[in-house]
A and B are shown apart, each in its own frame.
Chain A
């Protein structure tokens, strides 16, 4: 690596340590009504008289309790007394788990950072320099720039946010611990690198080179050359499924299971060359954007798109899906950016017009949207559920952007540019509390090995990638019905009674039905009112033309149906 230049180490001593990154933490006070009737389960516990000095357990914040709720429990449908009793006990345990989870939130001590400015100052006015001057020195070291020579760079962070992988168009591949700046390896593969990706741990790296896909370990040794995957444009690693999803120049999509080395899905998407790709972390589907402005969602087992959304009328430039899988941001050449409700497949929720077409989009863990406009990065806060007016932060560079990624569990945005890599601080973008069992930035070797084994044990099969990740928790009602029908035909067998209503109704349908009903009712009401008004006004009614009467033969006169 060529002399990584750190930005501004000049003010080492004259720093006043003002921690603007962390908000002051107030003690939250809740007023919670004691509701003895509501929880009949723990009657026994509540009967116990509280000691005057020791009031028992602290009350739980009801909002947090609601957040940890798993939905409605088993009702009174089970008639068998013994099983009903057992289920009741199980429900009690679930509520206990919920309470424990809500209580455990007290352990999430860290609060997310943020920018606090005076009333007349805009947050966009705060540059990285000001930020660097105001944060502690260890945080200030997170702002740095690498000037590298091998053309446009792409950068990606590992899942725990500790390691950084850089791959350049001109073959420069480097991995390092970006916090300590300790280099793992640095090689030139002597081929163009189109995309790079970390694997499940930081010891393995995949690079989509000119011809094939290569894998390297953390010393730069080539481990594999996967010739099944050729001319790859973009890659995404699905950590829970151990799948490396890739799309190539000819529109072929490949899912490689890296734990067993098998291709689980390989087919042509018939979209042509698409270099816009993102993964939906909520359900592990792959979002592809094509040149006709259509975003399509793909899973490895089904050779057709699960859904298609016409987002723009022009070619797409970037897609990003937020961490919870709620919103998708798309941008097209038409210099517009739209936010979609990707969970319900609905939208657009927001529609923004920009001055130029975005190069890249990226959501942070706290839903801050970074928009790359040639050589400017703009960060929008809270732009999905409500319409924003102005960006939260703006960072201007002297070089054009190729891609950028937020560093997980850090308030850092890493930008791969035409001439190197830039790391900037975006206060409040990262998740402050990490779950060490999930991904641990301070992982040691042993923990890494342990986590690898655990992750492998918890591997999710590729077939479970669907639009609704909770499909698996639902009963296959159509085939159940079929089974029941078949059983009904058997002689001398009492058919089982079964209620087929699913737990979660398809909301899309009911919503529309409800709307229609509301509309209908409103219309009816209006008509009634209008009639009454006419009556009240005593307006002369337009007399219907008198029908000629034929006496007895009237019944044979055809009646004209008046259409609505």
Chain B
């Protein structure tokens, strides 16, 4: 006991000593607060993460004593394990949003049911109102009359005695049961369903927003893309026009993408990298990749057809503005930061590589080393490339490619770690394909690949037929050919002797219009003339050709002159703006230079061919009649996009003097027919069930009219 006390004492003493010692230096020490008691309150000492929930385990632990209690505790645990804790409700705006979204879906579906009805009534020739068909059957008169009854004498007397009280029309108040029980139940179920849907959506949104996995998002994105592709393919099968439109939309989106500055060196990430890139090659690599992605996105899709046309005569590769080495604005300046000088990746590298290749091929492998120097310095060799024809160029490029691979090896040894990048490029032709040397081939192949999925799958490949198939023994065929040849030759020889013009007689000669062979008709000789003839006979006057008497020689000439004048009248003339003596010697006898004169002549537009051209002695006046123009249509109304279509739409008459009465009635029927004196009730939902509405299948119209603005 004493020992214990002793030690206690010693400890006390010791403490006192220490405190005394510590008091020796006069500084005040702030004692750290220490926890002494567990608490339920949140303080800086204890952040309570436990909820106030009762922990069943603890409770059950108390009951572990007796066997009976053990059972109870087990039961308790069981219930606990089965129970689920309700998740915290979403934030209010988010919840609202979801609510709105589901509500929209719901109403969209509800309203959407009417789409075919609306579409049908818009497209149909005419609609009649009221919609509800009232049977037009007339009640037989006898039936109608049975409803009326004459009062008997007795009744009349009784009425006199005891007049019936006037029945006042009391408006029966409708019982205020807005909904029947079933309806209520249905309504509630509906509400519950809505709520459930909302909660599903909320849960899903919450879950997905929590997922941080990049892979998941990537997969999600891919799935979306796939889905879209699938839809597109289906659309293509169903409605190619629509598909084309969609494709256009996609194209547009791509263009937008091009304009946004994604995958450029302006982002935060890129800026960070840029700083590091100065010292870290790896980072440089990443940046380069990123930029190349951007470039592949901003690259213009080449037009197949146009490139085909131009490809032959212009072997120059396609450069965008920024990449054109001939563009003086894009030429590198020497005083720019050295980052540019060092960054030998991407398009610059490509251009330079290309330059090298040409240089190499031109110089025939003489200077393979010190490639980089040349890269930076000169861009002149490109000009050589222009002069070379496309065919040899291709050959060269293939050759140089091989060379390049050889030369690549020493480069790596030199420590310029650029090979992986180059390899990467070689492996990924998609990103930089149009930067390849073989541009001619590329333009042919690449878009094909890209548009592969756009093609209709059911296309049958047709056999390419080069020659006609002729089943005949070779000998006979040859003989035939020879014979034919001989024949044709003999014919041709004949033809060759005759002048060229004669062979053209198979064609239409403009002179035909003037000269038609006259046909002499055996007409009756008139009595009158005979009489005169007889008179003439006595006098023996030689018969005069009447034609010659009346014919005026200048009739034809004057008519042709008139036509000539008419043609010349409205021919636009050249305007001469030369000032004699301007910039040259003037005066009498000085002729202005021909070249100078031509410079100041404004050429008139070429004349449109006239209607009476080549028609012989016919003049057709060509002028616009202003009085007729008033009556003519000057504008093509909305749905039409071509004059031809519009003219076709007004081509047929509607009047009953031109077409049969039945057709006329059909054509002039008004689009809305209403029965006179009938109340037109709004449509009810029964209209949805009418087969003609249900069977209306014109999707494009439904889509158009159902489109939300």
Question: Are A and B subunits of one complex?
Answer: yes
* A residues apposed to B, CB below 8 Å: 70-75, 77-87, 89-90, 93-94, 96-97, 100-101, 104, 292-294, 301-302, 304-310, 313-315, 333-336, 338, 345-357, 371, 373-376, 378, 387-391, 394, 396, 398, 400, 437-438, 458, 461, 463-464, 466-467, 471-480, 483, 496-504, 506, 508-509, 512, 515, 518-519, 522-523, 526-527, 529-530, 532-534, 536-537
Asked if A97 and B628 sit within 8 Å, CB to CB, the answer is no
Decide if B609 is an interface residue (CB 8 Å cutoff).
yes
Using known A-B contacts A78-B645, A461-B631, determine if residue A530 contacts B495 with beta carbons closer than 8 Å: yes
Chain A residues with CB under 8 Å of B615's CB are 345-346, 508
Asked if A335 and B547 sit within 8 Å, CB to CB, the answer is yes
Chain A residues with CB under 8 Å of B623's CB are 302
- A sample of 22 inter-chain contacts (CB < 8 A) reads A85-B701, A94-B667, A96-B663, A100-B660, A294-B559, A308-B562, A310-B617, A313-B552, A336-B518, A346-B513, A355-B525, A355-B526, A373-B523, A373-B526, A376-B524, A394-B524, A398-B527, A461-B631, A476-B629, A526-B503, A526-B504, A532-B492
Contact with A along B624-667 (1 / 0, CB 8 A): 11011111111110111111111111111001110110111011
Starting from the known contacts A94-B667, A97-B667, A388-B521, 9 additional A-B residue pairs (CB-CB under 8 Å) come to A82-B705, A100-B660, A351-B519, A355-B523, A437-B656, A506-B611, A529-B492, A536-B489, A537-B489
Chain A residues with CB under 8 Å of B520's CB are 352-353
Secondary structure dominating the interface of A: mixed
Asked if A353 and B639 sit within 8 Å, CB to CB, the answer is no
Using known A-B contacts A93-B667, A301-B627, A509-B611, determine if residue A373 contacts B524 with beta carbons closer than 8 Å: yes
Chain A residues with CB under 8 Å of B643's CB are 475, 477, 480, 498-503
B461 to chain A, nearest CB (A): 25
Chain B residues with CB under 8 Å of A466's CB are 625, 628
Q: Which of B492, B516, B666, B701 contacts A82 (CB 8 A)?
A: B701
Asked if B651 and A356 sit within 8 Å, CB to CB, the answer is no
Give the A-B contact count at a CB cut-off of 8 A: 316
Using known A-B contacts A100-B663, A512-B609, determine if residue A503 contacts B528 with beta carbons closer than 8 Å: no
Chain B residues with CB under 8 Å of A94's CB are 652, 667
- A503 CA to B125 CA in the complex, in Å? 27
B641 to chain A, nearest CB (A): 6
Asked if B492 and A77 sit within 8 Å, CB to CB, the answer is no
Decide if B293 is an interface residue (CB 8 Å cutoff).
no
B285 to chain A, nearest CB (A): 46
Decide if B342 is an interface residue (CB 8 Å cutoff).
no
Asked if A333 and B550 sit within 8 Å, CB to CB, the answer is yes
Asked if B659 and A100 sit within 8 Å, CB to CB, the answer is yes
Chain B residues with CB under 8 Å of A387's CB are 519
Contact with A along B545-586 (1 / 0, CB 8 A): 011001110011011001000000000000000000000000
B508 to chain A, nearest CB (A): 5
Query: Which residue of chain B has its CB nearest to the CB of A396?
Result: B524
Asked if B627 and A104 sit within 8 Å, CB to CB, the answer is no
Q: Which of A89, A302, A498, A526 contacts B642 (CB 8 A)?
A: A498
Query: Which residue of chain A has its CB nearest to the CB of B503?
Result: A526
Using known A-B contacts A314-B547, A350-B516, determine if residue A79 contacts B641 with beta carbons closer than 8 Å: yes
Asked if B556 and A391 sit within 8 Å, CB to CB, the answer is no
- A498 CA to B550 CA in the complex, in Å? 56
Chain A residues with CB under 8 Å of B559's CB are 292, 294, 308, 310
Using known A-B contacts A348-B516, A355-B523, determine if residue A306 contacts B507 with beta carbons closer than 8 Å: no
- A497 CA to B638 CA in the complex, in Å? 11
- A29 CA to B465 CA in the complex, in Å? 45
Query: Which residue of chain B has its CB nearest to the CB of A347?
Result: B513
Chain A residues with CB under 8 Å of B701's CB are 81-82, 85
A46 to chain B, nearest CB (A): 18
Decide if B7 is an interface residue (CB 8 Å cutoff).
no
Asked if A84 and B639 sit within 8 Å, CB to CB, the answer is yes
Decide if B402 is an interface residue (CB 8 Å cutoff).
no
- A480 CA to B562 CA in the complex, in Å? 33
Decide if B698 is an interface residue (CB 8 Å cutoff).
yes
- A526 CA to B496 CA in the complex, in Å? 9
Asked if B611 and A508 sit within 8 Å, CB to CB, the answer is yes
Q: Which of A78, A104, A304 contacts B660 (CB 8 A)?
A: A104
Asked if B495 and A72 sit within 8 Å, CB to CB, the answer is no
Asked if A353 and B648 sit within 8 Å, CB to CB, the answer is no
Contact with A along B609-623 (1 / 0, CB 8 A): 101111101111101
Query: Which residue of chain A has its CB nearest to the CB of B524?
Result: A376
Using known A-B contacts A463-B630, A499-B642, A503-B648, determine if residue A305 contacts B621 with beta carbons closer than 8 Å: yes
User: Considering residues B485, B552, B558, which has the most beta carbons from chain A within 10 angstroms of its beta carbon?
Assistant: B552
Query: Which residue of chain B has its CB nearest to the CB of A72?
Result: B648
Query: Which residue of chain B has its CB nearest to the CB of A73?
Result: B648
A202 to chain B, nearest CB (A): 20
In the A-B complex, the 8 residue pairs with the smallest Cβ-Cβ separation, listed nearest first, are A533-B492, A499-B642, A97-B663, A83-B639, A374-B526, A310-B617, A81-B700, A503-B647
User: Considering residues B525, B628, B646, which has the most beta carbons from chain A within 10 angstroms of its beta carbon?
Assistant: B628
- A530 CA to B493 CA in the complex, in Å? 7
Asked if A476 and B489 sit within 8 Å, CB to CB, the answer is no
- A391 CA to B123 CA in the complex, in Å? 60
Chain A residues with CB under 8 Å of B40's CB are none
- A389 CA to B523 CA in the complex, in Å? 10
Using known A-B contacts A71-B651, A499-B642, determine if residue A478 contacts B624 with beta carbons closer than 8 Å: yes
Asked if A96 and B642 sit within 8 Å, CB to CB, the answer is no
Chain A residues with CB under 8 Å of B525's CB are 355-356
Using known A-B contacts A354-B521, A522-B503, determine if residue A82 contacts B662 with beta carbons closer than 8 Å: no
Q: Which of B495, B649, B652 contacts A526 (CB 8 A)?
A: B495
Give the residues from 656 to 708 in chain B that come closer than 8 angstroms, CB to CB, to chain A.
656-657, 659-660, 662-664, 666-667, 698, 700-701, 703-705
- A310 CA to B558 CA in the complex, in Å? 10
Decide if B522 is an interface residue (CB 8 Å cutoff).
yes
Chain B residues with CB under 8 Å of A309's CB are 617-619
Using known A-B contacts A70-B651, A104-B660, determine if residue A313 contacts B555 with beta carbons closer than 8 Å: yes
Asked if A310 and B495 sit within 8 Å, CB to CB, the answer is no
Decide if B464 is an interface residue (CB 8 Å cutoff).
no
Asked if B659 and A101 sit within 8 Å, CB to CB, the answer is yes
Asked if B621 and A307 sit within 8 Å, CB to CB, the answer is yes
Chain B residues with CB under 8 Å of A100's CB are 659-660, 662-663
B107 to chain A, nearest CB (A): 24
B126 to chain A, nearest CB (A): 10
Asked if A475 and B528 sit within 8 Å, CB to CB, the answer is no
Asked if B663 and A346 sit within 8 Å, CB to CB, the answer is no
Decide if B500 is an interface residue (CB 8 Å cutoff).
yes
Contact with A along B406-442 (1 / 0, CB 8 A): 0000000000000000000000000000000000000
Chain B residues with CB under 8 Å of A376's CB are 523-524, 526-527
Chain B residues with CB under 8 Å of A314's CB are 547, 550-552
Asked if B521 and A353 sit within 8 Å, CB to CB, the answer is yes
Asked if B698 and A333 sit within 8 Å, CB to CB, the answer is no
A541 to chain B, nearest CB (A): 13
Query: Which residue of chain B has its CB nearest to the CB of A335?
Result: B546
A266 to chain B, nearest CB (A): 15
Query: Which residue of chain B has its CB nearest to the CB of A78?
Result: B639
Decide if B188 is an interface residue (CB 8 Å cutoff).
no
- A337 CA to B703 CA in the complex, in Å? 67
- A536 CA to B487 CA in the complex, in Å? 12
Decide if B529 is an interface residue (CB 8 Å cutoff).
yes
Asked if A74 and B613 sit within 8 Å, CB to CB, the answer is no
Using known A-B contacts A81-B701, A355-B524, A519-B507, determine if residue A293 contacts B642 with beta carbons closer than 8 Å: no
Q: Which of A75, A308, A336 contacts B619 (CB 8 A)?
A: A308
B116 to chain A, nearest CB (A): 13
Decide if B147 is an interface residue (CB 8 Å cutoff).
no
A542 to chain B, nearest CB (A): 14
Asked if B698 and A81 sit within 8 Å, CB to CB, the answer is yes
Chain B residues with CB under 8 Å of A352's CB are 518-521
Decide if B517 is an interface residue (CB 8 Å cutoff).
yes
A527 to chain B, nearest CB (A): 7
- A89 CA to B471 CA in the complex, in Å? 52
Q: Which of A350, A374, A463, A526 contacts B627 (CB 8 A)?
A: A463
Asked if B528 and A400 sit within 8 Å, CB to CB, the answer is yes
